[in-house]
Amino acid sequence: MEILSAALSAFLGGMILNLMPCVLPVLSLKLMSFAKQQHKESSLINSLSYTSGILVSFWILAFVLMALRSGGEKLGWGFQFQSPHFLSLLTIFMVLVSLNFFGVFEIGTGLISLSSNSDIPFGSGNHQQSSKKSAYVSSFMSGLLAVLVAAPCAAPFMGSAVGFALLSAPIVSFVIFTFLGLGLAFPFVILSLFPGLLKFMPGPGAWMDKLKQFFAFPMLATAIWLFWLFSELTTSWASAVLLFSILFAAFAAWIYGSFATLSSKYRILFSLVSVSILLFSYASAFYISSEKKSVKLQGETLSNNKMIPWKKFSPALLEQELKEKRAVFIDFTADWCLSCKVNEKVALEREEFKILLQEKDILPLKADWTEPDADIEKILSQYQRSSVPFYLLYDRSGKAHILPEILTPEILKEYINKI
């Protein structure tokens, strides 16, 4: 029953994940593809391709997590966002997706041009079939990307399910991650099974080009956010190099879009030049990502400019305060966690919460998991969690109360008034 409960929680968490800010940019890709669908069959295959991409990505993530944990590493949901290498590569990728949406270049046009000049006969039917295959591959890749960008968000029901998965046998972990993926893909499968719901969407037309350009802005916003995360983990020099790498990648995309798709004898040359510049930009970004900041924030008090006088979490400080029969509130957070930032604005960094802490004499601790931290990972594992946000409220007897992943001022007041 415990496995069934975790699987159901994972499925519900996956569904709710579609509403989280991390996944919204990728949803624009799926909305575009659904707008193009005219038949139930093609829409269903498109959704199944998207589901396959999600499942493959989750399976790879589960395999990597289990392999690293078997080697003694303690990792959790969103661990890749602790890596400057991952952040730099994903930042460049998001910029390229934005440029593609703006029409700077089109993927596949050059290949069609090459095939049209080859000795292989391509009739109109084959072109249509090729277009369908391209759409299915695009849906599969969208599924892969959805899981990559979903990591900074932890939806309700998801935290406990992922924590249970990572502390269970490998086969159980893969089952839980599979249900998480099925939940993430479920709304689009429903849309494909009931095409009547798509009648509310306008048919294909010139408006789609404008919509595609509009969706480039959320992608750019994601790239800016990823760059900010990168700059928080690395030196100013590394950030500057990444900006130039992005510039070179954009230049490569412009070359490809302007020259590599033309029907000329120089097409292959321009394609090679474009790919070479792109590889150089990726290599530069990957290399410079090793330059991490050597100095971390020092001292116990973390928030001179914040409303709540947070102190840095440490097991020793927690143990000391609990021995003195003092209540403690711990905020497990990370710079890359968008859900954490929303909770801060909505519930934590507010006058009402500050007054509650003062009235009940509760010590606020902040456990920052932006970078790997063994102490934080240990206490997360203790409560079968592997993701943030996570909130613990210790009463004066030392009993821990787990708060929901989505906070409101009313929820905080309810839990604090119980102790």
- C-alpha distances out from residue 300 to 5, 297, 307, 341, Å: 40, 9, 16, 21
Where residue 381 falls among pLDDT bands split at 50, 70, 90?
confident
How many structural domains comprise the chain? 2
SS (H, E, C) 137-172: HHHHHHHHHHHHHHCCCCCCCHHHHHHHHHCCCHHH
Does a structural domain hold residue 236? yes
Structure-block tokens of residue 283: 């290599």
The string of pLDDT tens digits covering residues 287-307 is: 988 887 654 444 455 655 578
CB 377 within 8 A of CB 363: no
66 in a structural domain: yes
Based on the domain organization, do 271 and 365 belong to the same domain? no
The predicted structure's pLDDT at residue 118: 37
Residues 75-88 pLDDT 10s: 566 667 788 998 99
pLDDT at residue 379 tops 90:
yes
| Across 114-141, average pLDDT | 54
The residue-averaged pLDDT of 335-360 equals 91
| Proportion of the chain in helix, strand, coil states, percent, rounded to 5 | 65, 5, 25
- Return mean pLDDT, the chain: 80
Structure tokens at 403: 């708060």
Distance CA 74, CA 386 (A): 9
295 found inside a domain? no
CB atoms within 10 A of CB 202: 10
351 pLDDT higher than 70: yes
Please report whether residue 259 resides in a domain.
yes
Distance (Å, rounded) from C-alpha 34 to C-alpha 188? 9
pTM over 0.85: no
Same domain, 283 and 315: no
Strand order in the sheet with 362-368: 311-312, 362-368, 327-333, 390-394, 400-402
Are the beta carbons of 181 and 50 closer than 8 angstroms?
A: no
- CA-CA distance, 81 to 104, in Å (whole number)? 28
Q: Are 207 and 330 members of one domain?
A: no
56 falls within a domain: yes
The answer to the question of residue 10 being in a domain is yes
CB 366 within 8 A of CB 311: yes
Distance CA 363, CA 324 (A): 12
The answer on 270 and 132 residing in a single domain is: yes
- For 119, the 3-state DSSP assignment is coil
Q: Which domain holds residue 350?
A: 311-418
Element (H, E) at 273: helix 267-288
Predicted confidence (pLDDT) at residue 359 exceeds the cutoff of 90: yes
121 and 12 within one domain: yes
Q: Tens of pLDDT along 19-77?
A: 766 666 666 666 666 655 555 566 778 888 889 999 998 898 888 777 766 655 555 66
305: in domain: no
117 confidence band (pLDDT: 50, 70, 90)? very low
Write down the residue that tokens 């789609």 correspond to. Answer: 208
Q: How far apart are CA 74 and CA 82, in angstroms?
A: 13
C-beta contacts of 367-370 below 8 A and 24+ residues apart: 367/313, 367/330, 367/331, 367/332, 367/333, 368/302, 368/312, 368/313, 368/333, 368/334, 368/335, 369/82, 369/332, 369/333, 369/334, 369/337, 370/82, 370/232, 370/233, 370/334, 370/335, 370/336
The pLDDT of residue 375 is: 93
Shared-domain flag, residues 280 and 334: no
Q: Domain for residue 397, yes or no?
A: yes
Judge if 14 and 116 occupy the same domain: yes
Exposed/middle/buried for 125, CB within 10 Å: 0-12, 13-18, 19+? exposed
> Can you tell me the distance from the alpha carbon of 390 to that of 42, in angstroms, rounded to the nearest whole number?
41
CATH code, 374: 3.40.30.10
pLDDT grade for 333, boundaries at 50, 70 and 90: very high
Residues 75 and 22 in one domain: yes
In contact, 177 and 65? CB cutoff 8 Å: no
Residues 387 and 261 in one domain: no
Q: Provide the pLDDT for residue 10.
A: 85
**In a shared domain, residues 325 and 264:** no
Q: Which amino acid is at 308?
A: I
Residues 35 and 123 in one domain: yes
Q: Considering only CA atoms, which of 333, 289, 280, 282 is closest in space to residue 308?
A: 333
Q: Quote the tokens at residue 170.
A: 């490998």
Closest by CA to 387, choosing from 155, 193, 90, is 155
> What pLDDT is attached to residue 41?
62
The answer to whether residues 251 and 358 belong to one domain is no
